[in-house]
């Protein structure tokens, strides 16, 4: 049976990868935008990442120093969120699941309502080209004010799921949030076992009744985790990344 996508990856043939219709089950909205678009918009050069990143921390440092300064405004957020969807379309993605952090609600005077309105209009703009599921991103350890925003996001019934990231050791404090999302039919995913804390994968899965693990690649280092995860057909484990 032919596997053109696998063959394209093996051959490092990006044009062939782009040409295939595909699903992208995880990106972080604005961070899905190509740097060239931001560069053209701001009309100034943005340094490219080093050939070899110093782990996930190095990747975060790069994004923090080069990209984030342009994104912490309503204009910057909306430009890059839009650009990320355009890039997904150009990459041949027909279904995109994307996390949008609740912190972006603070860019709007009417907070969650303003964010919701923008995201709705964004999906409407591209609905003929791509299906986008917007998940509410929340960083574990973030402020009580942002946690309150997260509950307000759940009440909008707009977000298809929640995506928990941040401090992976903080499991218990967010069980209520996960349950609130589940009660209204949202999926619950979490970043865990991405670059460390493989031992937290199973407790996180069980505490939140996860529908998906973001990245989670350290699971392969455990003798029993792959079988545990494989036994639950709900699971989606997204690949290496941010």
Residues in contact with Zn ion by CB under 5 A are 214, 242
In angstroms, give the least distance from the CB of 140 to Zn ion.
Answer: 13
Q: Which is nearer to Zn ion, 111 or 159 (CB)?
A: 159
Q: Are 173 and 144 in contact (CB under 8 A)?
A: no
What's the rounded Cα separation, in Å, for the pair 33 and 136?
Answer: 18
Q: Which is nearer to Zn ion, 95 or 242 (CB)?
A: 242
The pair of structure tokens assigned to 154 is 């759940």
Shortest distance in whole angstroms from residue 60 CB to Zn ion? 11
Length of the chain equals 242
- Shortest gap between Cβ of 191 and Zn ion (angstroms)? 5
* Residue 171 or 192 with smaller CB distance to Zn ion: 192
Tell me the CA distances in angstroms from 95 to 13, 88, 133, 140, one per residue in order: 21, 9, 8, 27
Q: Closer CB to Zn ion, residue 154 or residue 168?
A: 168
CB 179 within 8 A of CB 157: no
Closest separation in Å from C-beta 94 to Zn ion:
20
């Amino acid at each position: 049976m032919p596997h053109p996508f696998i063959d394209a990856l093996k051959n490092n043939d990006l044009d062939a990868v782009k040409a295939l219709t595909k699903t992208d089950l995880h990106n972080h909205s604005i961070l899905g935008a190509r740097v060239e678009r931001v560069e053209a918009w701001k009309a100034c050069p943005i340094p490219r990442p080093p050939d070899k990143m110093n782990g996930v921390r190095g990747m975060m440092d790069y994004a923090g120093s080069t990209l984030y300064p342009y994104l912490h405004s309503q204009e910057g957020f909306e430009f890059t969120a839009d650009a990320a969807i355009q890039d997904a379309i150009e990459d041949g993605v027909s279904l995109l699941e994307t996390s949008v952090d609740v912190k972006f609600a603070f860019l709007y005077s009417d907070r969650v309502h303003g964010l919701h309105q923008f995201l709705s209009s964004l999906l409407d703009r591209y609905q003929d080209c791509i299906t986008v599921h917007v998940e509410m991103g929340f960083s574990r350890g973030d402020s009580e004010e942002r946690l309150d925003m997260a509950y307000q996001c759940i009440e909008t019934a707009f977000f298809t799921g929640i995506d928990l990231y941040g401090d992976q050791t903080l499991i218990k404090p967010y069980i209520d949030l996960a349950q609130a999302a589940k009660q209204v039919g949202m999926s619950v995913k979490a970043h865990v076992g991405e670059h460390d804390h493989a031992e937290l994968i199973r407790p996180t899965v069980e505490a939140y009744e996860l529908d998906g693990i973001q990245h989670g690649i350290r699971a392969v280092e455990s003798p029993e985790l792959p079988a545990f995860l494989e036994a639950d057909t709900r699971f989606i484990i997204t690949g290496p990344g941010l």
